[in-house]
Amino acid sequence: MINLIPFKAVRPPREKVHLVASRSYVSYTPGALSRKLSENPYSFIHIINPEFSTGERTKKNSPERFKKVRKRYLDFIHHGFIESDSTSGFYLYSQSTPKGSFTGIIGGVSTLDYRSGKIKKHEQTLTKREEMFCDYLEICGFNAEPVLLSYREELSSLEALFATIKLERPEYEFTTTDKLTHRLWTVKNESDIERIKTVFQKIDCLYIADGHHRMASSSLLAEKRANQNRKHHGKEDYNFTMAMIIQGESLRISPFHRVITKDIEIHPDSFIDQLSLKFEIRKLDGPHYPSGKREFGLRLKGGWYSLKLRDFEGDGTAVSHLDAVILTKTILKPILNIKDQKRDKRIQFVPEGGDFDQIEKKIESGQCSALFTLCPVSSQELYDISDEGSTMPPKTTYIEPKLRSGLTIMNL
C-alpha cells in the first residue's frame, strides 16, 4: 500500500508561471545561467542563487548560503511571485515534447514507504550528498522539484480520471524555449482526491526514476525531525516529500554513452585485436547506436565499429545483463583499467542528443581516444534491478520527463 497525500502547493500565479518555473539550475551553462538571472527577475533560479544581485559570497552548500535561499524564497512569497494554495489537492501535470508526451500526478509520498522498501531505488546515493541535501531541506524548508516515481501497473481507472480532468481548462499552459509545452490542472474535488488515494493504496510499490538523492535526504530529514519531536505522530509535513508519479511504460529512458579521454592512449589496431577475443567486430561506414542488447558502437580514430558480445557470462542477476555492466567487465576494467567510474576523470558520460559530431572531431584530432555507444535500458530492467536490490553503474540511464523547478513547491 502506497500512502499518497494531497498538499497545499506554493506556486506561481497563472500569469507569471512561464517566468517563474525553470529547468534545474545544474542544466544551465555558467553563461546561460548569468543571462537568465540578469534578464528575468521572476525566475525561480534567483531563489537557488540568492547572491547573484548582491555581490556577496558565502561558501557553497553552507548553512549561511541555505539561509539566504530561505530568505529569497520568503521574498518571492512577499512580492507575490509565488503563493500558497488555500486548500490541499493533487496536481495533474502534462509535458508535451516533439517526440511524445508524459502525464503524471503530483502529490506527497511517505518517507516511511521509502525506508520500508515500498519506494524502490536502482542507484546508490552518496552519504555526503544525502547529508548536504538534508541540511538544505531543514534550513530552506521546501521541496521545489518533485522526485520522479513510476509504477508497473496499468491503472485504467486512474487514466480515465486523468482524461476527464484534462477536459477542463488547465490552470497552467505554457511553452518554453526548449520546445516543451507544460500543462497543469489542480485536483481539489474531494471525491477525485479520495479516488486517487485509493488507487495508490492498492499498489504494492513505486520505483524511483529520477531523484534518488532528493528522496534519500527527505527520508533523513524525517528521521531527524521525528527524533527531535516528542509529539511525533507520523503525519507531519516533514514525513513526506513531493513526487510526480507516472506509469512506467511512458517513461523515456535513454542511454549515457562513454567517452574515453586522451589520458588513456588507444592504438586502434591493437585495441581491436584485444576486443576480438570477446566480440564479433564489424567495420562500419558511419555512426552506430545499438538497438539490441549486448552490442556496442565504438568510434576510434579512423572510423566506427560494431561490437557484438560472443558469450554472455552473467551471474543470473538482472544487473549482470545490463550493457553498462557488460562493457565495464569486458573492456573498461580489464583493458582500459577504469575501475571507479564515479571518480575516474579519464571517462566521461554523454547523454543521447549530445554533440557527437564534436566528439568525433576530438577523436580524430587526438583530444579524445574513443566513444562507446550503448543500447537504452528498458523500464522492465529498471524494475527488475530495483526488485532484486541491485544498483546500476553510474550514468546508466537518462530518464525523461525532466521536471521544472518552482512549478509546484511543497512546504516542509
Strands, E, within 218-363: which ranges?
A: 240-247, 252-261, 279-284, 295-300, 303-309, 347-351
Per-residue pLDDT at 38 exceeds 80: yes
- Nearest CA-CA partner of 187 in 171, 206, 173: 171
Q: Of 394 and 63, which is predicted with more confidence? A: 63
For residue 33, give the C-alpha cell. Answer: 545561467
Confidence check: pLDDT of 217 > 80 = yes
One-letter identity of residue 188: K
* Nearest in space to 259 (alpha carbons), one of 189, 192, 164, 355: 355
Evaluate if pTM is beyond 0.85: yes
Contact between residue 22 and residue 36 where contact means Cβ atoms under 8 Å apart? yes
Residue partners of 224: CB distance under 8 A and separation at least 6? 134, 138
**What pLDDT, on a 0 to 100 scale, did the predictor assign at position 30?**
84
Read out DSSP for 63-110?
Answer: HHHHHHHHHHHHHHHHTTSSEE-SS-BEEEEEEEETTEEEEEEEEEEE
- Mean pLDDT value of segment 284-305: 95
pLDDT on residue 207: 97
**Please, which residues bridge with residue 84 across strands?**
10
* Rg, Å, the chain Cα set: 23
Residue 132 has what pLDDT? 95
List of residues 6+ apart from 272 with CB closer than 8 A: 281, 300, 305
Give the list of residues 6+ apart from residue 381 with CB closer than 8 angstroms, or none: 318, 321, 322
- Pairing status of strand 147-151 against strand 240-247: parallel
Burial class for 299, CB neighbours closer than 10 Å (0-12, 13-18, 19+): buried
Question: With bands split at pLDDT 50, 70 and 90, how would you rate the model's confidence at 28?
Answer: confident
pLDDT exceeds 80 at position 368: yes
Distance of CA 117 to the CA centre of its chain: 19
Neighbouring residues of 65: CB distance < 8 A, sequence distance ≥ 6: 50, 51, 58, 59
Q: Which residues pair with 184 in a beta bridge?
A: 93, 172
Percentage of the chain modeled with pLDDT above 90: 82
Which one, of 328, 330, 331, 313, lies nearest residue 393 by Cα?
328
- pLDDT bin (cut points 50, 70, 90) of residue 31 is confident
pLDDT at 266 over 80: yes
pLDDT at residue 54 is higher than 80: no
Q: What length does the chain have?
A: 412
For residue 126, name the pLDDT band (cuts at 50, 70, 90): confident
Q: From the centroid of its chain, how far is CA 103?
A: 16
List all residues 6 or more positions away from 169 whose beta carbon is below 8 Å from its beta carbon: none
Name which of 84, 86, 87 is nearest 189 in CA terms. Answer: 87
Average pLDDT, the chain: 94
Average pLDDT over residues 256-285: 96
User: What whole-number distance in Å separates Cα of residue 318 and Cα of residue 95?
Assistant: 31
∠ CA 175-178-183 to the nearest 5 degrees? 30
Q: Strand, coil or helix: what is 24? A: coil
**Mean pLDDT on 358-371:** 96
Would you place residue 24 in the very low, low, confident or very high pLDDT band (cuts 50, 70, 90)? confident
Residue-level pLDDT at 124: 83
Q: Give the integer Cα–Cα distance in Å for 324 and 256.
A: 9
According to CATH, where is 3.30.1760.10 located in the chain? 253-398
Amino acid symbol at 274 = Q
Q: What integer pLDDT is reported at residue 359 of this predicted model?
A: 96
Question: Is the model's pLDDT at 113 over the cut of 80?
Answer: yes
Mean pLDDT value across residues 2-8: 97
CATH architecture type of domain 253-398: 2-Layer Sandwich (3.30)
Establish whether the linkage from the previous residue to 41 is cis, with ω within 30° of 0. no
CB-side neighbour CA atoms (13 Å) of 36: 25
- What average pLDDT does the segment 214-218 reach? 96
Mean pLDDT confidence for 157-161: 93
From CA 261, how far away is CA 256, in angstroms rounded? 16
Per mean pLDDT, which range of 118-127, 269-278, 292-301 is the poorest? 118-127
